[in-house]
Structure 1
Amino acid sequence: MAPMSQEDIEWFKSTFHPIPKPQLPEDCIEYSVYHFAVDPAPTAVDEAAETRSRLVEVQRTAAQLSKELLKDYIWQREGFRLEITKEDGITSLRGRTIFGDSIEDEWVIVYILRELTKRHKDIWVKVVDGDGEFLLIEAAGTLPEWLEPEVADNRVWIHQGDLVIIKPKQGGKGSKRKVTEKLSLKDAKAILTEQSTRLLRSTMIQEEAFYRLRNYPQQISENLHSALVTLPRKIAFLLHQKPAYISAAVEAFYLRDPIALRPLRAKDVSNLAFKPEDFVTVSVRFTRVGYAQLKSQEFPVPQPWVGKLPPSEDRKVYDRAEIGMKLSCGFEMLLGDPQNRDKALVREMKLLLEDLESGDETLPTDDEIEQTWDKSEDDEKWLDINFEDLDRELKGKRDGYEGTSTRGFGDANAQENLQRIVARFEEFLNDNSAGLEGADFIDDFDSDSDVDEDDDDYEDDDVGSEGEDKEASFDEEEFSRMMKEMMGMPSMPGLAGASQSSAMGRRVEELDDDSEEDDSEQIQELSRQMEAELRGTGVLNLNRPAQNLLGNEPNSKGQTGEENRPEEDEDIDINLAKNLLESLHSQAGLAGPAGNMLSMMNLPLPKDDRHS
């Protein structure tokens, strides 16, 4: 085979488009841990062995941290995990976690990763989610102007507990050019280990990026909610064996579909895995999101559970039983839906149920539950959203407010987050320097964020008059001409009214400038002049023929619009009414555009008796 010529190579380069990297789901976080030694080993073999050895140590530390901080933690979907991988010749620890609706799970992972960088000084951590560099999104109001999403890949790192950003190539102060330099993983590694002057550490950016971690690790336990629930003893047994089963059952209930609900529609309860009988009241630990999902949904009592709930007079007892009914249905759907049969949790639960049937396992007794099982129950005030409390929080009037409610909106974290959001929104609205790209919260970021005007990695952001794109320039005269044609006004220079319009425009400016004198009479005079001009062009003549909208020029027969007009003007509302009635007739009594429009105007639908 003959070697490719240079022309063939250039053609291949121009036509080759690499497969784009798949985007992460919006409820997924991906994290990577790298060991970048400042003084690498003498040989590549020794460096690779050292890197792998250090990453194994980090993996052990991560397991220890998870054991210390997440002993009783329940993940909404998937948990934190690190596995050794290799990408672009660089060995690393990598993990991916789907956190579902629980955003707090994402921040628990960020906290663990940050703690790892504090315990291992030579590792660098990178985290992204479905939105990209979400740490930058958190700190959007404090970022330098050059840091745009297009160039953010591989620039944001966590090192020794700090947020580190790779700056563009050092340049002169005062430049207003846009950064175009994109970094690969190998580029980033070289900069992190060899060019410390390009590393930006900003306390202000870091505080904003890690703001959600301000109450960690104490907040980890607050992400969970314990509640007393009345449910079948089999389910209590499963949850006692492994509390993490709760998330899968809640999700099965929350995302139920007609196929999953099929077993709960049958009157015969003999085929149910969890029959509505042999109830016990136990403390169940949920994620806060999962508990809210379970409690907030309206769910009619399925046929097998009819008559099994206690009377609603005792609200607390009824609520515990209702939550237990929903949770039991979630477990039933989880185990009964064919699409779940290959899930590891489902296989584990089925094995435990088989052990109960075979006698290898026994259900807990009432005495055992009463004496040894947890009976904790958390306050549910974080679920309550009172409109008056929310309104006071938004207005910042909670203190000293005399109203019907004295407690705050939600818990302390919710109040603090809400006040922060409102403050940021007010700051955005009050920013008078905002341009087409949005609000700019930072005008100057010292010389560290400036760029070199002669650097190839930047391009002009502001184009001067000499470099203006003539094809994209705005021609005011052409725009004015087109608008006048659309309105039926004379558009060509020299036609009647052109000079008068410019004169009136200048008069308007004079009136705007002179605000001290009484100008009501002048305004009225100006209005009369404008009306006279518009009448002269025919714009205000609603009954003029369509073919004569642009003036009174003769038509093909030498007739003007006035000569061509019928003796009696046709009322245009007749055509409107006729079309409306035709539309109503075509609806045949069903919903349609004409009927909907008349209903919105509170007009009764006319009776169609043309064929009666």
Structure 2
Amino acid sequence: MEESVRRPKTWEELKEQYGGLDIQLAENCVEYALFLLTEYPNGGGARKHLATLETIRKAALELSAKLTKDFIWQREEFTLSIKHDAGLIYLHGVSDYGDSVEDEWLVVYILREISKLYPQAWIRVWDADGEFLLVEAANVTPKWLSPTMDQNRSWIHNGRLYIIPPDKSASYIPGPLTLSDALTNIKANPDSLFHSPRVEKEAFYRLEKYPRYITLSLHHARVRIPRKLAYLLHEQPKAVAPAVEKFYLRDAVGLKSIMLDSSSLHFPPEDFVTVSVRFTRVLYAQLYSQRFEPPPRWKAVLERAIGKSPAARVTAADSKLRLQAEIGMKLTCGFELMVNKASKSNSRVVREVSLLLQDVEEDGPESLPTDEEIKSWKDVDRDDDDSWMDVDFGELEKELGGSRGADQGSTSKRGFGDLNAQDDLRKIVSRFEDFLNDEAAGVEGAEFDEEESSSEEDGEGEIVSEEEDRDVSLDEKEFTRLMKEVMGLSSEAVKGKSVQPQPTEAGGDNFDMEEIQKLTEGMEAELKEHGALSLDLAPKKRAVLKGKKDSDDREGSVEESGDDEEINVDYNLAKNILESFKGQAGTAGPVSNILGMMGIQLPRDEEDDSTSDGEGYPTNQGKHQSGS
């Protein structure tokens, strides 16, 4: 009988079995490698090389442990190990960050800090999208750099980002570098490496909030859970991540064990205590947002949570108690699903929880902490404000208008969303405005490197008549200015320049620009009168603006409204971008395409209640999910 083929268990075995093919990195994973290019002229190079790598590895893990002492990784934490591959010896690691993209950027931050501590280190980091640092800086990268040739070209060294440029003397089109060629290039020509502060700033833009964001990304919430679970969470608080993921990715088969009333549960809904549980914002949002039909044994618990009959009036305090019971139910069900599959898990934390649970079940309820002992736990009553999940559109308008700095004395103490959402939205609006105000762009729209040679590649294609060109001749700058005014952009947003139409070629038919101007102003006046260019303004404010417009018309001049006008333009632009993206329903469209060209990817929106199937089962989310 032919011997069966053994299935590979590790990444290295998989590559070896398939002949060293370049296998695509799994989705939601970030991979990184650290190389030393130090020469050892006095012999003993291999031994010294290994010793230095081990020193760096220990220092990196200590740094990671120090920075993330109270942090909860979504799936896998930062790790490094010595690797031998293709004649190279280096440090290597892979981390699965799941739905928390911020975990990926935390890994990048740790790597950059390591490069500062050890200037002899050269570090690469990439994910399923390839060189994602260059993707992040795509708006400012040099023209010669493209996704078809950027592999192994971006490196972190001494806290900076360096790029290996193509060989200028080569007569062929540059392609991706092999790892060996990249290291050889760095050794031979370190002075030829490309470093741009502008590119570096864009690539490392998301690192500016670290390390303070490590603490800000945590959320403490009071929940009502069984005493046994409270004890396990106190002993192993990082177990909340795999438990939430089990609940978030639950399926009908796994739910059978907790939906049947006769099931023997590890955490039955009894002997409840109310304690504070530490989540990350992503984990808490995943629990909070899930619609879930309570198991039979939990329905009575939820009804008793507020201690009132269903017909009684529910107060804000009652709603808070109900929320604590619901979050506690979801968390308990997640732990139930997790320990049921603990024997098949590769997670060290899950295995430790399983062993701890076995000890508790063997020792009996007497081994669990009493109420007095629970009260002595650190932060046992801490309950953080969850308003970071809400968006205040008034605050959104101020943030986009840049007026927060001058309004520090305001009674408003928070902005819209979290810091990450605020930074991303400002970045989107800023890039869109730069895009619209690009004086170099013509009527053909944005131009890209790939299009520069299109006319040469077409060969003997279409022949456009010069007579036809003259028939449709118009001034591009004037046309662009008029279009921006129709879109609602003020003269300030168009840099306050009134461009006079240029004379066209003799013999051609000219547009009557004065008539177009009058028509445009009439359209704009009509739209403003009906509020079409002032989205979501309060009725009172809209009436004031309308009265101001009428008064200005009588005086024969139109005045701009200053800073408030700028805020409304930004607010409307941001709102239109987000609504247009949502209207694409997850498919390709103009907004996602333009944002992609700017190096920005928006997360998919949550399903509306009206489109829910009512079952509350989660759907697989894309990589770039917000919520950190």
Of the candidates 363, 366, 369, which is equivalent to residue 364 of structure 1?
369
> How far apart are residue 169 of structure 1 and its match?
2.5
1:25 counterpart residue number: 26
2:118 counterpart residue number: 120
> How far apart are residue 47 of structure 1 and its match?
2.7
Count the aligned residue pairs. 446
1:253 counterpart residue number: 247
> How far apart are residue 81 of structure 1 and its match?
0.4
1:185 counterpart residue number: 179
SS at match of 1:151: coil
Q: Which residue identity is paired with 1:216?
A: Y
SS at match of 1:308: helix
Of the candidates 126, 129, 140, which is equivalent to residue 127 of structure 2?
129
CA contact (8 A) 1:168 1:198 kept: no
When residues 199 and 296 of structure 1 are mapped into structure 2, their CA distance, relative to the original with a 3 A threshold, is same
- The aligned runs of 1:175-254 (5 Å cut-off) are 179-254=173-248
Matched, 1:418 2:425: yes
> How far apart are residue 49 of structure 1 and its match?
2.1
Q: Which residue identity is paired with 2:199?
A: I
Of the candidates 301, 319, 333, which is equivalent to residue 323 of structure 2?
319
Q: TM-score, normalised by structure 1?
A: 0.66
SS at match of 1:244: helix
SS at match of 1:215: coil
Partners of 1:231 and 1:209 in 2: CA distance: 43
1:101-150 Cα shifts (integer Å, max 9, x gaps): 11111111111111111111111100001111111111112211101111
Q: Which residue identity is paired with 1:368?
A: E
Partners of 2:417 and 2:63 in 1: CA distance: 30
Q: Which residue identity is paired with 2:109?
A: Y
> How far apart are residue 513 of structure 1 and its match?
5.0
Matched, 1:431 2:438: yes
CA contact (8 A) 2:148 2:175 kept: no
1:503 counterpart residue number: none
Partners of 1:156 and 1:341 in 2: CA distance: 35
Unmatched 5+ stretches in structure 1: 1-16, 444-459, 481-508, 519-612
Partners of 2:234 and 2:151 in 1: CA distance: 44
Q: Which residue identity is paired with 1:248?
A: P
SS at match of 2:261: coil
Identify the range of structure 1 (390-399 vs 302-311) with the bigger mean alpha-carbon deviation: 390-399
Q: Which residue identity is paired with 1:79?
A: E
CA contact (8 A) 2:342 2:354 kept: no
> How far apart are residue 410 of structure 1 and its match?
2.1
1:505 counterpart residue number: none
SS at match of 1:226: strand
> How far apart are residue 70 of structure 1 and its match?
1.2
> How far apart are residue 431 of structure 1 and its match?
2.8
1:596 counterpart residue number: none
When residues 171 and 291 of structure 1 are mapped into structure 2, their CA distance, relative to the original with a 3 A threshold, is same
When residues 65 and 284 of structure 1 are mapped into structure 2, their CA distance, relative to the original with a 3 A threshold, is same
- The aligned runs of 1:64-83 (5 Å cut-off) are 64-83=62-81
Of the candidates 358, 373, 377, which is equivalent to residue 383 of structure 2?
377
CA contact (8 A) 2:31 2:126 kept: yes
When residues 383 and 462 of structure 1 are mapped into structure 2, their CA distance, relative to the original with a 3 A threshold, is closer
Unmatched 5+ stretches in structure 2: 1-17, 307-313, 469-506, 517-628
- The aligned runs of 1:451-466 (5 Å cut-off) are none
CA contact (8 A) 1:233 1:280 kept: yes
Matched, 1:296 2:321: no
SS at match of 1:321: helix
When residues 431 and 88 of structure 1 are mapped into structure 2, their CA distance, relative to the original with a 3 A threshold, is farther
Of the candidates 386, 389, 409, which is equivalent to residue 392 of structure 2?
386
> How far apart are residue 42 of structure 1 and its match?
5.4
When residues 439 and 371 of structure 1 are mapped into structure 2, their CA distance, relative to the original with a 3 A threshold, is farther
1:532-577 Cα shifts (integer Å, max 9, x gaps): xxxxxxxxxxxxxxxxxxxxxxxxxxxxxxxxxxxxxxxxxxxxxx
CA contact (8 A) 1:260 1:337 kept: no
> How far apart are residue 404 of structure 1 and its match?
13
When residues 407 and 41 of structure 1 are mapped into structure 2, their CA distance, relative to the original with a 3 A threshold, is same
1:447-487 Cα shifts (integer Å, max 9, x gaps): xxxxxxxxxxxxx995598x65546x22569xx9xxxxxxx
Q: Which residue identity is paired with 2:49?
A: T
Partners of 1:220 and 1:347 in 2: CA distance: 26
Q: Which residue identity is paired with 2:371?
A: D
1:395-430 Cα shifts (integer Å, max 9, x gaps): 667788xx9989531244432332122101221233
Partners of 1:253 and 1:363 in 2: CA distance: 25
CA contact (8 A) 2:345 2:351 kept: yes
Q: Give the alignment's Cα RMSD to 1 decimal.
A: 3.5
SS at match of 2:111: helix
- The aligned runs of 1:196-595 (5 Å cut-off) are 196-269=190-263, 271-309=264-302, 310-311=305-306, 313=315, 314-337=318-341, 340=344, 343-359=347-363, 362-375=367-380, 376-390=382-396, 393=399, 408-433=415-440, 470=459, 473-475=461-463, 510-512=508-510
SS at match of 1:149: coil
2:52 counterpart residue number: 54
SS at match of 2:359: helix
> How far apart are residue 338 of structure 1 and its match?
8.3
Partners of 1:425 and 1:87 in 2: CA distance: 44
Partners of 1:344 and 1:60 in 2: CA distance: 20
CA contact (8 A) 2:133 2:203 kept: yes
When residues 50 and 281 of structure 1 are mapped into structure 2, their CA distance, relative to the original with a 3 A threshold, is same
Partners of 1:431 and 1:40 in 2: CA distance: 52
Partners of 2:62 and 2:347 in 1: CA distance: 27
CA contact (8 A) 2:218 2:280 kept: yes
Partners of 2:72 and 2:513 in 1: CA distance: 68
CA contact (8 A) 1:33 1:125 kept: yes
SS at match of 1:150: coil
Percent of counterpart pairs with the same letter? 44
Partners of 1:396 and 1:464 in 2: CA distance: 41
> How far apart are residue 225 of structure 1 and its match?
1.1
Q: Which residue identity is paired with 2:370?
A: T
2:136 counterpart residue number: 138
Partners of 1:342 and 1:76 in 2: CA distance: 15
Partners of 1:513 and 1:69 in 2: CA distance: 65
CA contact (8 A) 1:77 1:99 kept: yes
Partners of 1:49 and 1:160 in 2: CA distance: 24
> How far apart are residue 331 of structure 1 and its match?
1.0
